């Protein structure tokens, strides 16, 4: 191991993986440090040809003040593109799923 990243090696093999496993998907987990990349990361995976992207945030205590606003901004920025593709059946991203297992939070 030379310490170099594996991204390029993985990406170049995605077409072969999809050919061998046509319904393949990858899970994405976001934390505080990567919230600002949520929108572009999901779109990048779609552009690589992945159609099903289960996505969620970590539940550990890693969150910073203001992360909720960044998360909301990322969801809103991309909602138009994402919702159109979901409605057309082109892709599925569970972060936008109506069938989410979570429930709405209310002010106490």
Q: Are 65 and 57 in contact (CB under 8 A)?
A: no
Q: Are 18 and 29 in contact (CB under 8 A)?
A: no
pTM of the full structure: 0.69
User: H-helix or E-strand containing 30?
Assistant: strand 28-30
Q: What is the pLDDT of residue 50?
A: 85
pLDDT at 14: 93
Mind listing the pLDDT tens digit of every residue in the chain (108 residues)? Answer: 687 888 899 999 999 999 999 888 888 888 999 989 988 888 888 889 888 778 888 889 999 999 999 988 888 877 766 666 665 555 555 554 444 444 444 554
**pLDDT on residue 51:** 80
């Amino acid at each position: 191991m030379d310490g170099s990243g594996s991204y390029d090696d993985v990406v170049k093999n995605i077409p072969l993986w999809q050919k061998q496993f046509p319904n393949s998907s990858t899970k994405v987990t976001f934390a505080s440090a990567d919230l600002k990349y949520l929108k572009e990361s999901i779109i990048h995976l779609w552009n690589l040809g992945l159609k099903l992207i289960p996505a969620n945030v970590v539940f550990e205590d890693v969150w910073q003040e203001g992360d909720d606003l960044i998360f909301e901004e990322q969801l809103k920025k991309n909602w138009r593109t994402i919702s159109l593709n979901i409605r057309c059946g082109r892709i599925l991203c569970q972060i936008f799923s109506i069938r989410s297992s979570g429930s709405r939070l209310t002010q106490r």
